[in-house]
Structure 1
């Protein structure tokens, strides 16, 4: 992931881009974004956008999982989608809207490449490749939103929780998901006690192991048996995003800043 060179007494560090949406851009298109991308650390519960607030930055997630939440004053928040290294936070701004319709916070800590909305808008206007990548992701996100709505209305908590864990593991490319029971209860809109009980049942089935401060998806296939069709419908849509392959892009990064980013992982 990291490459350092020494020259003229100065230390320069480059970081390989992990975001799959950026990785799908041709090198010439990525060069139009590179000068504006800034690595930022994202702690657990960091708010990337908030209800009815102006959207100033787009976040291309490099590591971690962000949750999009909707709410009413009576019912409180509930998750409608997750964002990881397959996408970006700030879809409303990419569509030309100035304010966020929902909240987005980090459910699993990590880091992102941040870009100011005007800088991304100018690059997308100049490059059809960038614009198409953004629109393709927005389509996949809409599919996820629609399928999550169906899943919440028709499927059991065991199926919904398994779906969320499988999708999170895919986005982290890791079997360890550092997420709390409290966070899962907010995302799925249920009591914390229900999350604890359902995780215990899933552990007995062999799909996962509960850990302090996290969950180990030790058997992906076993957990898939406990979830619903919604997982595969959402996952297949995101796999389609990178059907043309990935490029290796690198950006310059301050060593201290990257250490701060990795401390959040």
Structure 2
């Protein structure tokens, strides 16, 4: 799959930090290219680096029998390696680059050292973890209950948001793999969206023609994902997650493992 990066992107989580905390992270990060098909983590493996995508995006894949199912996407709105704030250093999902771009990468050791010194970074990442959990639950429900056409529309909108482009190159086979459905189902859904003049599709090249129309055709999960992100992370620096959602805010914690222990006690 290939995407044309129309505009350069920054990382929204890093942008939410005040200058001092952001600079401390940036001085320990290295710029890297994200290449399509590159596996950054495998499910169950150790997490050697934390990635803040600044362009392109990454699929989160759960192993199912001899295949994989996509559960979510991480682009410049997020971070890869979020389980480290729980004191868990193994990856829950396989992370596969789907859209070429760039990222800022930091070693796990450096990330944890900075995390333990920065209350603000802790705050932002805890909010992102909450958003990620909500979106993964939404994705699981979407896969189980929604029709292929609405799910395909949602997936195309999600990729557009992260790739910053209306143009996507992807085969029906790969789309079926990502959506966890048979190829014939994807073909029918894509043909329907094309007949409605929402997309054009030819030999693996998809162009989004009508964003608003595609959003109307998508299942409600696309808008729900956007709303939870803006509600929780669009207000960084304002009242805590606990104040907005009823989720109890933790007491002051000194280490990432303490954060993980506290969250596990709340389950």
In structure 1, runs of 5+ residues without a counterpart are 1-15, 246-265
In structure 2, runs of 5+ residues without a counterpart are 1-7, 238-267
* Matching of residue 174 in structure 1 with residue 170 in structure 2: no
Q: Which residue of 2 aligns with 1:133?
A: 124
1:202 Cα deviation from its structure 2 partner: 0.6
1:200 Cα deviation from its structure 2 partner: 1.6
- CA–CA separation in structure 1 for the residues paired with 2:134 and 2:192: 29
Give runs of aligned pairs for residues 4-43 of structure 1, distance below 5 A.
18-43=10-35
* Matching of residue 205 in structure 1 with residue 196 in structure 2: yes
**Is the contact made by 1:37 and 1:113 (CA closer than 8 Å) also made in structure 2?**
yes
Residue 24 and residue 231 in structure 1: after superposition, are their counterparts in 2 closer, same or farther (change >3 A)? same
**Is the contact made by 1:50 and 1:104 (CA closer than 8 Å) also made in structure 2?**
yes
From 49, 53, 67, the counterpart of 2:41: 49
- CA–CA separation in structure 1 for the residues paired with 2:164 and 2:188: 26
Residues 149-175 of structure 1 show CA distances to partners (whole Å, capped at 9, x for unaligned) of 111111100011111111221222322
1:95 Cα deviation from its structure 2 partner: 2.3
**Is the contact made by 1:17 and 1:23 (CA closer than 8 Å) also made in structure 2?**
no
1:176 Cα deviation from its structure 2 partner: 2.1
Structure possessing the higher relative contact order (Cα contacts under 8 Å, 6 or more residues apart): 1
- CA–CA separation in structure 1 for the residues paired with 2:171 and 2:58: 14
Instruction: Say which SS state the counterpart of residue 196 (structure 1) adopts.
Output: helix
- CA–CA separation in structure 2 for the residues paired with 1:28 and 1:223: 41
- CA–CA separation in structure 1 for the residues paired with 2:39 and 2:170: 16
**Is the contact made by 1:94 and 1:117 (CA closer than 8 Å) also made in structure 2?**
no
Residue 244 and residue 72 in structure 1: after superposition, are their counterparts in 2 closer, same or farther (change >3 A)? closer
Residues 40-74 of structure 1 show CA distances to partners (whole Å, capped at 9, x for unaligned) of 11111111110211110011111112111112325
Q: Which residue of 2 aligns with 1:96?
A: 87
| Count of matched residue pairs | 229
CA RMSD of aligned residues (A): 1.8
1:244 Cα deviation from its structure 2 partner: 4.9
- CA–CA separation in structure 1 for the residues paired with 2:19 and 2:177: 39
1:128 Cα deviation from its structure 2 partner: 0.8
- CA–CA separation in structure 1 for the residues paired with 2:29 and 2:110: 9
Residue 188 and residue 17 in structure 1: after superposition, are their counterparts in 2 closer, same or farther (change >3 A)? closer
**Is the contact made by 2:9 and 2:55 (CA closer than 8 Å) also made in structure 1?**
no
Give TM-score scaled by structure 1 length: 0.81
Give TM-score scaled by structure 2 length: 0.80
- CA–CA separation in structure 2 for the residues paired with 1:46 and 1:86: 20
- CA–CA separation in structure 1 for the residues paired with 2:207 and 2:47: 34
